[in-house]
Chains A and B, each alone.
Chain A
């Protein structure tokens, strides 16, 4: 298992290199560069703009810029400088990482806690009223994109006279030390993004769990378990659910890239301090190293997620073994 993991990790390196070249090429395909905005600003002369461009290394050919960035990453874990934020990329990301992980993690947790039981329930009561309502709500969840969900939730809260929308903390708590009221205030703000981001995931997970459950219920071992007179509860939880949940565990790994990509739109609408919107602003502002690092991060998370999903599957399902 360890050698398998190591081999997979080593195999990722060339892919990651190719991806970084592609990302940089895509970013560089945008005409112009970061310093062009200074040319429209009357306070900057052309000479100043040129000086800044030289200072940032943007006068070099693209291949040299890429080489320097890559060398910085490999030699000293330096992901370049964010022109737009005027700080090293790593420090910007580090600052936002906490909130990002909190929001995505919480969303993931909540959507699993809701979706898996719903999936099991709908599989067992296929034609019941509750299951039909749940299935229909699943369709509804799939049909509301996250930005629309955010807008609707904010409109709802505002029309009910609430004010806890946008941002992640009320202004009086931003610099305050952690306390119960502060945590309550945080939760008061967090439920909107959690629902908005999680809606689609819940619907998808629920359908997967239901399908997987229905698959298992037709298996011989479930019939055998019933035939030998095991109590219903035991058949359901030990024989059916235990097996139906295996494919779901491997799905958990695949949700790793959602850490960044899942929060982009909702964070822009709701003004949340996560990494997602940073990708959007850096692309629009030609903040090339920031954009490159974030694109790389999302790709690496996806690759790691795939690996994690394979490993989790092997761990949870004794029939799957990699050698």
Chain B
């Protein structure tokens, strides 16, 4: 009879992931970036509820309405938040239609107001976070030419701008890993052919080739197809550089013993690449995907801005900025530049986050 031996006390060694997490937490900007991203994506997810109006609703009487300020003091008395409504009038001299601020009757802003119906995550709803009584209007960031609420369009536009990048990166890294893996693992003719293609793709500066391929997306496609088309275009350009790096890593890994062992066990080639070689690259891949994301977001917004990207009735931040692309608007209706702030914030957040991830994953330089 042997007594049950207590397992020996093992000194607690933090796992590599825990160590990386600890290093990540040290970077203030990185943590800030992480929070910013979380908020941006949550806002985008719940945008139909957060937005006061639907993206396509046109308020004909409110073309190019300036942003309406929220007040809390009416005629010297403190009150709950309200905006001054807008009355339509005619310019006494030119008879041009103008909107005059009506300083007599405050329009009170309510929370959880019933408004236009929407579908969020497949669930129908009609309650919006804030709004004003029916018949009154409140445009926090103003409207565009057709009188569509800019804030609503910005919030919902994030659904396109923030997902195009992620999907594009996922697809291009998927293709890149497989192509680079095949290329490095097999060598020889496969390698040669794949490397030729990579070389041609890498021989173009990014924007010219993006433009050349995105004009191929037919203008008469419905906007969801165009969305898929733009993702495809971005991914098609992006995979080449990933494939090149993965190939180099796989070439090096092929010499290692555990790969030879797996081969000796009769594991299929694709499985060797995907299960034994690629996991060793995972931290590199995650970091470089995060750092590549801003490029995709800027790529989508640039294409949409130039009119060869996302198209109506879908909307994205780049497409919204397209409306600001004339000197008349820039001089007189500067609120149309607001979507740029969201592009700026999301790219900034991804860069903060990506740099912190890179430093956290880097175990050598410390």
What is the chain A residue whose CB lies nearest that of B301? A145
Chain A nearest CB: distance from B53 CB in Å? Answer: 25
- A253 and B324 alpha carbons, distance in the complex (Å): 35
A30 touches B215 (CB 8 A): yes
Contact with A along B319-330 (1 / 0, CB 8 A): 001001101001
Chain B: CB-nearest residue to A214: B365
Does B213 count as interface, using CB distance less than 8 angstroms?
yes
Contact between chains at B347 and A143 (CB < 8 Å)? yes
Interface centre among B208, B298, B302, B348 (most CB of A within 10 A): B208
**Docked CA distance A301–B334 (Å):** 38
Q: Which residues of B181-234 are within 8 A (CB) of A?
A: 196, 199-200, 203-209, 211-213, 215-216, 218
Contact B204 A299 (CB under 8 A): yes
Within the complex, the shortest CB–CB distance from A247 to chain B, in Å, comes to 17
| Contact of A134 with B by CB under 8 A | no
- Shortest CB distance A196–B (Å): 13
The segment from A40-48, A94-102, A153-161 found at the interface with B is A153-161
B337 within 8 A of A: yes
Could you give, for residues 338-360 of chain B, a 1 whenever the CB lies within 8 Å of some chain A CB and a 0 otherwise? 00100111011001100000000
Contact (A264, B204) CB under 8 Å given A139-B352, A152-B340: no
Are A29 and B216 in contact, CB atoms less than 8 angstroms apart?
yes
Residue contact B216 to A30, C-beta cutoff 8 Å: yes
Give the one of B29, B199, B347 with max A CB within 10 A.
B347
Q: In the complex, A165 Cα to B326 Cα: how many Å?
A: 11
The interface residues of chain B lying within 8 Å CB-to-CB of A158 are: 327, 330-331
Judge if A169 is at the interface, Cβ distance under 8 Å. no
Are A154 and B330 in contact (CB-based, < 8 A)?
yes
Q: Which residue of A lies closest to B201 (CB)?
A: A22
CA A15 – CA B204 in complex, angstroms?
Answer: 12
Contact with B along A23-47 (1 / 0, CB 8 A): 1001101110000000000000000
Shortest CB-to-CB span from A192 to chain B, Å, is 12
Q: A165 to chain B: which residues have CB within 8 Å?
A: 327
B305 within 8 A of A: yes
In the assembled complex, A88 has its CB within 8 A of some CB on chain B:
no
Surface stretch bound by B, among A106-114, A238-246, A254-262:
A254-262
Q: Which residue of A lies closest to B203 (CB)?
A: A299
Given contacts A158-B331, A166-B327, contact A260 B305 (CB under 8 A): no
CA distance A154 to B218 in the complex (A): 32
A27 in contact with B212 (CB, 8 Å) = yes
- Judge whether A148 and B206 touch: CB under 8 Å: no
Interface segment, one of A75-83, A222-230, A278-286, A310-318: A278-286
Also in contact, A155 and B330, with CB within 8 A (given A23-B212, A143-B348, A283-B212): yes
Taking A147-B305, A158-B331, A165-B327 as contacts, is the C-beta distance between A142 and B209 under 8 angstroms? Answer: no
Are A145 and B203 in contact (CB-based, < 8 A)? no
Whether, in the assembled complex, A265 has its beta carbon less than 8 Å from a beta carbon of chain B, the answer is yes
Task: Report A272 CB to chain B, min CB distance, Å.
Answer: 14
Q: Which of A64-72, A123-131, A180-188, A290-298 contacts B (4 or more CB under 8 A)?
A: A290-298
Write out the residue numbers on chain B whose beta carbons fall within 8 Å of the beta carbon of A291: 212
**Does chain A have a CB within 8 A of B294?**
yes
> Contact between B206 and A18 (Cβ–Cβ < 8 Å)?
no
CA gap between A19 and B215 in the complex, in Å: 18
Contact A151 B324 (CB under 8 A): yes
How many Cβ-Cβ contacts under 8 Å join chain A to chain B?
Answer: 115
- Is B141's beta carbon under 8 Å from chain A? no
Residues of B within 8 A of A265 (CB): 207, 302, 305-306
Chain B 98-138 per-residue mask, 1 if CB under 8 angstroms from chain A, else 0: 00000000000000000000000000000000000000000
Q: Which residues of B contact A152 (CB under 8 A)?
A: 337, 340
B203, B204, B340, B343: most-surrounded residue (chain A CB, <10 A): B203
Which residues of chain A are near B324, meaning CB under 8 Å? 151
Bound form: Cα–Cα A261–B308 in Å: 16
User: Which residues on A sit within 8 Å (CB–CB) of B347?
Assistant: 142-143, 145
Tell me, yes or no, whether A269 is within 8 Å of chain B by CB: yes
Q: Which residue of A lies closest to B334 (CB)?
A: A155
The reply to whether A268 and B200 form a contact with Cβ atoms under 8 Å apart is: no
B344 partner, pick from A27, A144, A298, beta carbons under 8 A: A144
Say how far B347's CB is from chain A's closest CB, in angstroms.
4
A174 contacts partner chain B, Cβ-Cβ < 8 Å? no
Contact B327 A264 (CB under 8 A): no
Residue interface bits B42-60, CB-to-A below 8 A is 1, else 0: 0000000000000000000
Q: State whether the Cβ of A303 lies closer than 8 Å to any Cβ in chain B.
A: yes
Measured between beta carbons, the chain A residues less than 8 angstroms from B302 are 145, 147, 265
Measured between beta carbons, the chain B residues less than 8 angstroms from A92 are none
Chain A residues with CB below 8 A from B216, complex form: 26, 29-30
**Cβ–Cβ contact B204 & A295, under 8 A:** yes
Q: Is there contact, CB below 8 Å, between B294 and A295?
A: no
A133 touches B (CB below 8 Å): no
Taking a contact as CB atoms closer than 8 A, the residue among B207, B213, B215, B330 that contacts A151 in the complex is B330
Extra A-B contacts (12), CB below 8 Å, given A155-B331, A280-B211: A15-B203, A27-B212, A142-B294, A143-B294, A143-B344, A143-B345, A145-B343, A148-B340, A151-B321, A154-B327, A261-B205, A291-B212
27 contacts between A and B (CB under 8 A): A15-B199, A19-B200, A142-B294, A142-B347, A143-B347, A143-B351, A145-B301, A145-B302, A148-B321, A148-B340, A148-B343, A148-B344, A151-B324, A151-B340, A154-B330, A158-B327, A158-B331, A159-B331, A265-B305, A280-B211, A295-B204, A295-B208, A295-B209, A299-B203, A299-B205, A301-B205, A302-B204
Chain B residues at the A interface, C-beta cutoff of 8 Å: 29, 196, 199-200, 203-209, 211-213, 215-216, 218, 294, 298, 301-302, 305-306, 308, 321, 324-325, 327, 330-331, 334, 337, 340, 343-345, 347-348, 351-352
Q: 8 closest Cβ contacts across the A-B interface?
A: A261-B205, A143-B347, A143-B348, A158-B331, A257-B205, A155-B330, A148-B340, A145-B298
